[in-house]
Structure 1
């Protein structure tokens, strides 16, 4: 199994601007609750549709977007935990949600291709990119991506299915490993409806990923999922079995319990429609020791449920490859049925503080531990 270490047609422009000052009395921040000893501030505001994050060795925070079609760079010049400059590296892209860093280069996943900004930290005011792979499917339904590099230098790229539920060909419903030299795609996981987040367990080396379950089966089924990959090509059930226990009313017809057991069940079956996106194993040393190696999960929140669920950041405790606890870490993004924010993805700064993106509030939060 792979282990992590971790000019085109669009018009590219660069916009340098000051980010609005952060208010200590912001109403949303006042509503958010965290465990005792943890505090949260805005690292950046007005980052339209902020999605996946990547941090360079010099501390520049790069942000992808989905609906906005932009890639941003956020710079905290005085290192006070608040970004004071925002640069729009590119705009007019095709849902450039996923970002990954490798040897000083920034890789960005659009729906249909992977592009690269070479030596990006030194090219911020005049950024250009090149296309490094353009053979991904063009379907935009579940086409936005989350990417990450593996130890062997290959890029992990998910391709969601272009539907609510369907049996598609081998181009969809998978997490691939892309060799950027040979351009070869290798299937790491299949039977995956739509994963927009994965990470490596730093203790075991295993790949863990989130998966969003199908819609239109009611409020309470099927579960969303947190999964662990045990071998390359492992099948996680879609579209036949959902959450390890729910047969699809169309594609699961005629299947038995024995058939269900051929597919890998999730390590954690989540509440239906919470929409887990980014997941992240905490590696830093700034948080309390008990938090080390906890798995943080961004529950983006439901869109087609009679009562909304999700809209929070959760944390999972993992022991010997099993999830033994699943608890809230940041709550308050939902006020009754009013959406205030939708967490998406995570990144760590050099000081061990945790960044969380929010594509609804157009913000990046920074969480730190204050044991005083």
Structure 2
């Protein structure tokens, strides 16, 4: 009996090990992802460079923006085949970056300082890939938060994130005890969203409008067609304990501040670097660099987030779902891709998943939930280097499927629903 029981236990342990290995390798069911019943996932391509944002067009055409040029191409063209796999069919652009978007017959793409557009033909092919039209140039780029995410509205405008080159606008960036630069003058050209025309060449700051300010860094953003409004996901500031150890514990620093979703109107100020949002107290808190102590509240003039997520998850993708393939609860709701944290020590790192936020009439209508998990491929992430995949970009396919990029290996996932 003991031998029989021991054999059962051994078989169980070996089976568990095999399942874990399959999930980690991505060769198990649903490409190693955990999904709700009725959903399935597959990898349409397993390696394509450091893939950031993407667009998926009719006819199986996919354009992927690369963080750095892959095989000399900053934009990779894929074709999704009938067998559910995608093959590389071309590429163009010698610049890295993050942003890519399609509107009114043009493909828009950003480097870390400029925005270009390419005309498409009726097959969604780029007509002249070697001669794009440069519509925006001369944008500020620092050593951090340099990426330029983009989105277009329905009135001929393009919106560009210009991230803060500093963590919290200190006199000495990320140095213990260093206070904030009075007034934070960098906000005149960074730390916000700028609006430009989508069809005028070589625009720069004088031709643009600072649409919203006080946003440390936005990578995920999308246009909500229900209320004709811009929504953004902000990366919250880092290192509260490292910089002000007398005011914040390591645990507080791991949890704060919130990663915030904002509904943006022209002229809005989200408060960076003067305040941050504390999702535990549910308050706007005065930043320590500007006289805060973790309890003093910030000025009420700064806008509130519409959703406050836990700190340091790194939201890199935002997509409003308008398709018909998924169940009704997902219609017009928001998907957010969390790239995963690096600075939640001594807590375990978090993120590495895609979440869903229900919306009604253009505003959040319920609690967020994890939609797709398991991208990291490991049970617990202590260091981001352990993560085998990190979600970044989101796109909706013509049939309503959801596509997710990974910027570790360039894997692209396709998530579908069948009744």
**1:316 has 2:334 as partner:** no
Change in CA separation of 1:282 and 1:84 when aligned onto 2, cut-off 3 Å? same
Bigger helix share: 2
Larger Rg: 2
Q: How far did residue 270 of structure 1 move?
A: 1.0
Contact in 2 for aligned 1:241/1:252 (Cα 8 Å):
no
Write the mapping of 1:283-362 to structure 2, written as runs, cut at 5 A.
283-306=322-345, 307-319=348-360, 321-334=363-376, 335=378, 336-337=380-381, 338-362=386-410
2:177 corresponds to 1:173: no
Report the RMSD for the aligned CA atoms in angstroms: 2.4
Give 5+ residue unaligned stretches, structure 1: 1-23
Where does the alignment leave 5 or more consecutive residues of structure 2 unmatched?
1-24, 170-183, 241-252, 278-282
Q: What does the per-residue CA deviation read over 1:241-277, in whole Å, with 9 as the maximum and x for residues that have no partner?
A: 1125232110354999674311111111111101111
Matches of 1:116 and 1:319, distance apart in 2: 33
Residues 122, 274 of structure 1: alpha-carbon distance in 2 compared, 3 angstrom cutoff: closer
- CA shift for structure 1 position 59: 3.8
Deviation at 1:280, TM superposition (A): 0.8
CA contact (8 A) 1:28 1:340 kept: no
Give the TM-score normalised by structure 1.
0.85
Instruction: Label 1:130 to 1:203 Cα distance change in 2 as closer, same or farther (>3 A).
Output: closer
Where in structure 2 are the equivalents of 1:204-243 lying within 5 Å? 204-217=227-240, 218-229=253-264, 231-243=265-277
Q: Look up the SS of the partner of 1:65 in the other structure.
A: strand
| Structure 1 residue 58 displacement after superposition | 4.2
> Taking structure 1 as reference, are residues 175 and 42 closer, same or farther at Cα in structure 2, changes over 3 Å only?
same
* Residue of structure 1 equivalent to 2:116: 115
Distance change >3 Å, CA 252–CA 196, structure 1 → 2:
farther
Alignment of 1:117-156 (within 5 A): 117-119=118-120, 121-123=124-126, 127-156=130-159
Q: 2:92 aligns with which of 67, 89, 94?
A: 89
Partner of 1:60: 61
After superposition, what is the alpha-carbon deviation per residue over 1:34-74, rounded to whole angstroms, capped at 9, x for unaligned?
00000001122211111111234544111112144621111
2: CA distance, partners of 1:256 / 1:327 = 29
Partners of 1:111 and 1:140 within 8 A in 2:
no
Structure 2 length normalisation: TM-score? Answer: 0.76
Secondary structure class of the residue paired with 1:309: coil
| Count of aligned pairs | 344
Could you tell me how far apart the structure 2 residues matched to 1:142 and 1:60 are?
A: 30
Residues 127, 211 of structure 1: alpha-carbon distance in 2 compared, 3 angstrom cutoff: same
Question: Which residue of structure 1 aligns with residue 180 of structure 2?
Answer: none
User: More deviation in 57-66 or 208-217?
Assistant: 57-66
Check conservation: 1:199, 1:281, Cα contact below 8 A.
yes
Deviation, 1:128, is 3.5
The separation in 2 between residues aligned to 1:240 and 1:174, in whole angstroms, is: 14
Which has the higher mean CA deviation after the structures are superposed, 108-117 or 253-262? 253-262
Deviation, 1:235, is 0.5
How much does 1:279 deviate? 0.9
327-336 vs 244-253, which deviates more?
A: 244-253
Offset of residue 115 of structure 1: 1.9
SS of the equivalent of 1:250 reads helix
CA apart distance, 1:134: 1.3
CA distance in 1, matches of 2:308, 2:256: 10
Give yes or no for contact 2:52–2:392 (8 Å, CA) kept in 1. yes
> Which digits, 9 at most, give the CA deviation of each residue in 1:215-264, with x for residues without a partner?
111211111111112x3110001001112523211035499967431111
